[in-house]
Structure 1
């Protein structure tokens, strides 16, 4: 199917994709100034709106639409045809238009146009690794992201951006694929008690993480964790936790002091089954200066209240939580018991330690407990 000679008008009633107009210049200039790192100035923006978009369309190099919302210029979205009868999708919004799902609406309109009108057999997406807003749009509109299972596989130095080679995420979607997410994206609720706040970790807390993860107990009970746990290890770990949340696999909270916001420990929810079983496993560790204060058992109790609460009450709707640890890990066992978990079984020689294989003890907590 041929690409139309002129811009059609596409709309879902909330956003409209259309050809550029002279009054869009101010919006494009403002957007360029919001992101000076792209290397474009005001004159570039004026040329792009005045004739650049139209010329690119005429040459079939890029099919660019202006995104309009509430009568205002909100950004642009485009399809860049390739030699294999596919296309690459690109999109960007002005700051005022972000956070309301407008980019996802625009991409869905663009996909329908690309597949039904232009006859593209596949549409590709890429973004600089770490560009979570762009990835969120790709996820929301049904792209298959990265490798198997929807994990965002990073390709080193895949693309050029701002004159430098950058690592990138990729994805693709076909004409018959649904335009909805393929897996959950776990957004972490902030959970609080009078003295604790459960939130996500920040990049500026890497020294705190490395100190907490570098110790003799961790080396003994969790020998797969590098020792010493370096800043590079911590940065990789933070990225991995973000990846697993984005692929609907794991929640990971920093347990922080409610008054000072200092990170005291880490609480992870993983192995999550949202089917009839509705169970998940907990893992946790503490910074040395926060041990012995009952912090982690209190954090687990708060997480459990959220986990067992129905989804229509802003909970997770879970049925069972369980904890597995080494039989000789008296600290972890004491934390589980203080949080109300019951010892329900022991697996002999089931927990590898640094020096030998220990028994594995299992604790659980049910929604009915």
Structure 2
């Protein structure tokens, strides 16, 4: 199917995609010069005045200006390939971000690409860490593909990139939830998202003999590189709707004292994993945090059963579970691998929504 010779006007009533106009130049210059790109004011001027129309006429790129609130808000484009597919690229001016504009623009571009241009598949990619782009891909229904090493270039160096794809019959909405940690507090502690500047607290907490014994899959010593990878992985797990991960912090100082992960979320159930920094041990903070999180899980998240599994010989973890109101409901013989190479029994504790009133 041939591409339209001229840029059509597409709108959903809030966002409009159209051809560039001379009055878009100041907005484009402001956008490109405010970002860490190789574009300067002259590049932006050339792109708006004739670059976009030239790319469209050759079929190299089908680029629209995004019009929001009657002004230039960025661009979205489709880059065809020889196989009858295309890749989508988009960018917004800072003032237009945070209002769902990019997702609306991408949905319009996808509909145009599939229904008018006849593309079979439309691809998306973004450098790892570009959470704004990933959130748009998530919101518009892209299937997430593999992370490809060195696919992208940022600041003159190769970087890894997230990838995704969508077909003409796919819904243009999120396929799974994107978990965002609620901030939860007691009189002593706060549960919040980890920060990137807390690598030292993570490495100290996860480098010890008990971790090596009960969690032998965790590298020892746990390096700063390991901690940064873990933070990135937890963020990606949340974006994929697979797990929540909280930092347990002191309410007054905000000092990181431990971690709680909520995972295996299905059919109203969830499983908890936790570890503490040496500064928090022996103070009852972890049990207090789990009681707080359990209340949120049952009352706000709508769960019905929480599970904790650990080694039968892990007295500290079992003490936390029992102090938090969980009940020992069973054991599996020789089911928990230990650092010694000899497995231990695995014990299971649970807490039901019906028990929540007793917390």
Q: TM-score, normalised by structure 2?
A: 0.96
Task: Tell me the CA shift for residue 161 of structure 1.
Answer: 3.8
Task: Tell me the CA shift for residue 306 of structure 1.
Answer: 0.9
- In the alignment, what sits opposite 1:268? 261
Structure 1 residue corresponding to 2:174, chosen from 173, 177, 181:
181
Structure 1 residue corresponding to 2:205, chosen from 208, 212, 218:
212
Deviations 1:275-302 (Å, cap 9, x if unpaired)? 3xx1010000000111111111111111
**Are residues 1:335 and 2:320 paired?**
yes
* Counterparts of 1:261 and 1:95, CA distance in 2: 30
Task: Tell me the CA shift for residue 154 of structure 1.
Answer: 1.6
* Counterparts of 1:120 and 1:348, CA distance in 2: 55
**Secondary structure of residue in 2 paired with 1:235:** helix
* Counterparts of 2:313 and 2:6, CA distance in 1: 72
Aligned pairs for 1:245-264 (under 5 A) are 245-264=238-257
Aligned residues: 354
- In the alignment, what sits opposite 1:224? 217
**Secondary structure of residue in 2 paired with 1:58:** helix
CA RMSD of superposed structures (Å): 1.1
- In the alignment, what sits opposite 1:75? 74
Aligned pairs for 1:344-363 (under 5 A) are 344-355=329-340, 356-363=342-349
Q: TM-score, normalised by structure 1?
A: 0.94
**Are residues 1:126 and 2:134 paired?**
no
* Counterparts of 2:122 and 2:282, CA distance in 1: 54
Deviations 1:177-221 (Å, cap 9, x if unpaired)? 111122222111111112211111111111110000000111111
**Secondary structure of residue in 2 paired with 1:171:** strand
**Secondary structure of residue in 1 paired with 2:148:** strand
Task: Tell me the CA shift for residue 348 of structure 1.
Answer: 2.0
**Are residues 1:293 and 2:276 paired?**
no
Deviations 1:72-129 (Å, cap 9, x if unpaired)? 2111100011111111100011111111111110000000000101111111111011
* Counterparts of 1:161 and 1:88, CA distance in 2: 18
Task: Tell me the CA shift for residue 162 of structure 1.
Answer: 4.1
Task: Tell me the CA shift for residue 42 of structure 1.
Answer: 0.7
**Secondary structure of residue in 1 paired with 2:287:** helix
Deviations 1:301-325 (Å, cap 9, x if unpaired)? 111111101xxxxx21100001011
Which runs of at least 4 in structure 1 moved beyond 6 Å after TM superposition? none
Unpaired runs of 5+ residues, structure 1, are 147-152, 310-314
Which moves more between the two structures, 175-184 or 260-269? 175-184
- In the alignment, what sits opposite 2:294? 304
Task: Tell me the CA shift for residue 159 of structure 1.
Answer: 2.6
